[in-house]
Amino acid sequence: MPTVPKIATRASRIALAALCSLLLAAIAAQAAVRVYSNDFSSRKEFAEIERSGGKACERRYRKKSKSMLATVERGPATCSFRPPIQGDGELPNHHVSVDAKVLDRTPKSIRGGAFIELTVRSGGGGVGYSLRVFPEKERFTLTRGPEGGKFPISEESSAIKKVGERNRLELVANGADIRAFVNRKEVAKITDENPGQVTGRKIRFSIGSEEQAKKEVLGTFKRVSVAVPG
């Protein structure tokens, strides 16, 4: 009877660990209950998304690509939008994802400060947990408003795709546990020491620029999904 070869190499162990991580992520995703989804497949779905903040902002529907085009006309600025759904109690548990990209039409001189962002438990005065991704720098920040505990986190990640490519951002708020994913890879996990300070109930996704310039940052949003963690 042939023997089964042992997994002895470091590369094999790494590959097996990566496969296990993907399987666990798939199981976790299946355990969540989806309560809202919008892929901008029609103008009606586009109209469901409300503008949430930002003065130097424009948006329009792209019929051909079935997506929402958003323009930050000058920076620094953040253009925010939100789906027609929010938590119905304190510390709402949400698993939210958004597919977005910064377009190549964004001038090279300001790409370093161009970002896409996802926020859960969002409220007035900057309240919420926010995952901000800078595609050009392949860097992310995870912040908490108000500041406190182990926040903020700012790191580089090879999971982040460059300008012109679509990135999927995911934030999971489950009690005091906050998890952040980029393109299905977990990039941060924190247990908030005092989650009661984050009192918001809304969900927000954004595009913005940290550069002081009268130049446009352009991006598209293709899909937003809201689920309740199992």
Q: Tell me, yes or no, if the pTM score tops 0.95.
A: no
Q: Is the pLDDT of residue 24 over 80?
A: no
What are the pLDDT digits (tens) for 144-167? 999 999 999 999 999 999 999 999
- Of the listed ranges 4-8, 19-23, 54-58, 89-93, the least confidently predicted one is 4-8
Taking 80 as the threshold, does the pLDDT of residue 29 lie above it? no
Looking at every residue in the chain, the average pLDDT score rounds to 90
Contact 135, 165 (CB under 8 A): yes
Over the stretch 178-222, which tens digit does the pLDDT of each residue have?
999 999 999 999 999 999 999 999 999 999 999 999 999 999 999
Residues contacting residue 185 through CB under 8 Å, at least 6 positions apart: 157, 159
- Comparing CA positions, the residue from 81, 173, 184, 188 lying closest to residue 140 is 188
* Residue 17 pLDDT > 80: no
Question: Is a pLDDT exceeding 80 seen at residue 2?
Answer: no
Residue 56: its pLDDT value, please? 83
Which pLDDT value is given to residue 7?
A: 41
- Least-confidence region, from 28-32, 92-96, 139-143: 28-32
What pLDDT does 10 receive?
52
Whether residue 97 is predicted with pLDDT greater than 60 in this model: the reply is yes
Q: What is the mean pLDDT of residues 124-142?
A: 97
Domains of the chain in start order, with CATH, are 35-228 (2.60.120.560)
For residues 44 and 53, which has the higher predicted lDDT (pLDDT)? 44
Q: In the predicted model, is pLDDT for residue 6 greater than 70?
A: no
13 or 173, which is more confident: 173
- pLDDT for 13 equals 52
The model's confidence at residue 74, banded by pLDDT at 50, 70 and 90, is very high
- Per-residue pLDDT, 230: 74
How confident is the model at residue 31, as a pLDDT?
66
C-alpha to C-alpha distances, 52 to 79, 80, 102, 141, nearest whole angstrom: 8, 5, 19, 21
Judged against a pLDDT cut of 70, whether residue 59 lies above it is answered with yes
